[in-house]
Structure 1
Amino acid sequence: MASDWKIGSDRRRRTTDQLRAFRAANEGSVAWDTEAPADFTYLYHPDRVLVRAADVEAFERAAETLDKEVLGESPRRDEATLLDGELVRYVLAPRRGGESVPDVLDLLEAGGLRRGAASPDHWVHVSPGGPGGNLCPAIEPQETGLRDPWPPVAPQSKGSEVSVVVVDTGWHPPAATDPRTPWLAGVDGDDELNGPDLRPYAGHGTFIAGVVRCIAPDTKVFVDGFAIGGVGGGGILESDLVVHLEAALTHDPHVINLSAGCRTRFDLPSLPLEVFHRTRLRKRDCVLVAAAGNDSWAAPFWPAAFGWCVGVGSLDRDGRVSDYSNFGVSADVYALGRNHVNAFPDGTFVCNETPDVGDVRVFSTGMARWSGTSFAAPLVAGLIAREISETGCSAADARDVVLARAVYDSDPTIGPHMELRQPYA
């Protein structure tokens, strides 16, 4: 890893920059599935395994046959109660031969454990990526001289109250009373504790809340922060994310926006997110909208790839699919994701990623310009919230109505797809 940052394209170096920073932010508790970090397909905790409650007995039985050969001792069951015990977390002791968590799972499955019964605890990141892909939005935030958001605020007649929870990096409280960003009045959330020196991913949740409010100005918005104070470097483990999603439901949201996701071992559905949906979300009239990811490929990106989730890819302002946008199973629909302009904290930001490492950007207008599927997703979340408010329909019906407004288009790279074109409201 020491010299990988010197090798290959800016894209590969950028991915390596991101991974180095991410691992440092999480005190080394980040591993990946390839030798060169720029080639990774998924990230995971180096010592954790997640198991469905129904498969615990089979997992422990399989581990007993393995511990003498590979494990120094049997896996330790974590005391954390996840989703009322429906999900169980184990910690592996050091492996005798240095086997990784995926190596151990390979051995357990070769010994008869059902594939999918157990999983690494994957890292979910702000629009993470894969080989030569991105761990974060398509670009770092850019200064702008613009004073108005884009897409602009869409006037809305007062309707029924609708609640949206943005599960993200936290909230910048001054934006709610800043005369430069009046569309964010009344928004609340977990303070991300910004100072004059802005951390990576600072303002991400605030920017997304701004996109929701521009599309649906009368919507009640709360920003749940999973990376307060920069902890985690903008990422969270799957098993911790579902705790935040469960907490988000206490706000009785009609829509949850998650501009983050992950690849997984063998591209299997994310185990914690599947359990969260089965035990929590499907019992509620609540729609989850998620970013499709910024890796320019069709591999499943969770939760966007789930059939029960609305996965959103990115369009450029000319209506073409953005070159960074994921497509295929992770993108049910595409919406503007390139060059959004919205609320952002004032302060000094030093770029961390190739080719802009060391570039100093000073934000002083309460606004920024940003691109990525992270910002296409809240546009769709806002449209769903607006439909609920104006018609009084269910969240599920509003989702269907919004998606029905999309038009079919075709692209030689990704083929036929559905687009929500401007104007959006």
Structure 2
Amino acid sequence: MFDQQARLDRVLARHPDAVVVEPMPGRPALVRRDEILVAGRDAGAAEALVRRWFDSRHDEGGVARLRLRAPAKVDVCELASVLGGADRRHRRLSVSPNHLVLGQPMWWSGPADLPRPAAPLPAPRRVPVRRDVTVAILDTGLAPHPWYEDEEWFREQRDEVAEVLDADLDFRLDAQAGHGTFIAGVVLSQAPSAVLRARRVIGGDGVGDELEVIRALEWLAARGRADVVNISLGCHTYDDRPSPVLSQAIAALGRRTVVAACAGNAATDRPFWPAAMKPVIGVGALDGDDRAWFSNHGWWVDACAQGVGLASAFVRFDGPRAAVNGSDPDRFEGFATWSGTSFATPVVAGRIAAVAAEEGIGAPEAADHVLDPARHPVLPGLGTEVHTASSVDALG
């Protein structure tokens, strides 16, 4: 098992504006220091109420980020609670600290181990479909890959969503670099005809924040481009409640869009967001017939799929480690195996997209079919079991 404290220390070292908060003992969260997020309609009222600590305001779409003066040492969690109406002195505002969202291996979300080089896989075979279906992937971006690099949808966005493989220039693949590309491969393995739309919301270190996720969701809502949205990242919140600002961004996608999000890898039943939100399909991971040891679980998990030893598309990268017995542990030729709820999620998202495309129905109707408890097993604390298409194999 990886050293959780060591990983946390690395996150804080690379993101000095981040801080661990723990209003409830034993239930920590990570937030950006001296920042609160406010729904656009509430930004003016919130700014007036924090005038004594106010530093600056940045508006983008339906959300505003208020920065507070560092010397004031404001507890952003307490402030969000007060502005949200917990003390009933003010009209209830939609306010949240700017939580960090994480995909760091063996931290609160993302893959449960490191990727391992794998032999090439055949490209997913297309099948006849009755309609086009678009799957949005909010993650680390996409690297060119033979499975899709000649597709028009990839050429349109290639430069703006490119994966950053070695941001710290240490000649090693960053901890979560390739995560988005791997997820894209899993989606295509389930739904080969899907059009993918990527938005980069976390870096190759697996760290981003709630604001970037909200911006991506608003971008999708404004363009109406997604039938299914895959979010293989998330966070615990300071009060174990859903962020009202993020909740509004997801609601703005409308009822014709299905959102699937990973349940997280902390082996806990503590709600993980956005997976635990009511409109979102929270996805846990299986290892064979059992819950994967790392998978979160609980009443809020809606579905589960194989999440151990999945093989998929990956980046090309050759790290500094030497080959051992003819095997190079950090030389990737475009394919890898990986484990985590991060990768069970695109299995579910991909199955929903496939059913919608092949049957010519809406994504919500397809989700009802895929998650129908009358058709599929339901596991306690993990929800409906979703089987992979034959083109994705569990190796572990």
TM interval, shorter chain, is 0.7 to 0.9
For 1:191 and 1:77, locate their aligned partners in 2 and report how far apart those are by CA, in whole Å: 31
Alignment of 1:149-188 (within 5 A): 153=124, 156-173=127-144, 175=145, 177=146, 182=147, 186=151, 188=154
- Kindly tell me: are residues 114 and 120 of structure 1, through their superposed partners in 2, closer, same or farther at Cα, counting changes over 3 Å? farther
Alignment of 1:220-299 (within 5 A): 220-227=195-202, 230=204, 233-249=205-221, 250=223, 252-278=225-251, 280-282=252-254, 285-299=256-270
Does residue 21 of structure 1 match 2:37?
Answer: no
* Residue 55 of structure 1, CA deviation: 4.5
Asked if 1 retains the 8 angstrom alpha-carbon contact of 2:100 and 2:210, the reply is yes
Q: Which amino acid aligns with 1:341?
A: A
Alignment of 1:21-170 (within 5 A): 21-26=10-15, 28-34=16-22, 41-53=28-40, 55-56=42-43, 59-60=46-47, 62-63=49-50, 73-83=52-62, 87-96=63-72, 98-105=73-80, 112-113=89-90, 117-126=94-103, 133-144=107-118, 146-148=119-121, 153=124, 156-170=127-141
For 2:13 and 2:355, locate their aligned partners in 1 and report how far apart those are by CA, in whole Å: 43
Does residue 323 of structure 1 match 2:293?
Answer: yes
Q: Which amino acid aligns with 1:301?
A: F
SS at match of 1:281: coil
Q: Which amino acid aligns with 1:272?
A: V
Asked if 2 retains the 8 angstrom alpha-carbon contact of 1:290 and 1:303, the reply is yes
Equivalenced residues, count? 370
**RMSD between aligned alpha carbons?**
3.1
Asked if 1 retains the 8 angstrom alpha-carbon contact of 2:256 and 2:364, the reply is yes
Q: Which amino acid aligns with 2:141?
A: G
For 2:235 and 2:320, locate their aligned partners in 1 and report how far apart those are by CA, in whole Å: 26
After TM superposition, the score normalised by the length of structure 2 is: 0.82
SS at match of 1:51: strand
* Residue 257 of structure 1, CA deviation: 0.8
1:142-162, CA deviations, whole angstroms, 9 ceiling, x for partnerless residues? Answer: 233x3337xx94652243211
SS at match of 2:186: helix
Asked if 2 retains the 8 angstrom alpha-carbon contact of 1:127 and 1:374, the reply is no
1:240-265, CA deviations, whole angstroms, 9 ceiling, x for partnerless residues? Answer: 22112222343712111111111112
Which residue is 2:314 aligned to?
344
- Kindly tell me: are residues 202 and 419 of structure 1, through their superposed partners in 2, closer, same or farther at Cα, counting changes over 3 Å? same
- Kindly tell me: are residues 104 and 254 of structure 1, through their superposed partners in 2, closer, same or farther at Cα, counting changes over 3 Å? closer
SS at match of 1:404: coil
Does residue 386 of structure 1 match 2:360?
Answer: no
* Residue 106 of structure 1, CA deviation: 5.8
Q: Identify the structure with the greater helix proportion.
A: 1
Q: Which stretches in structure 2 are left out of the alignment for 5+ residues? A: 322-327, 392-396
Asked if 2 retains the 8 angstrom alpha-carbon contact of 1:127 and 1:260, the reply is no
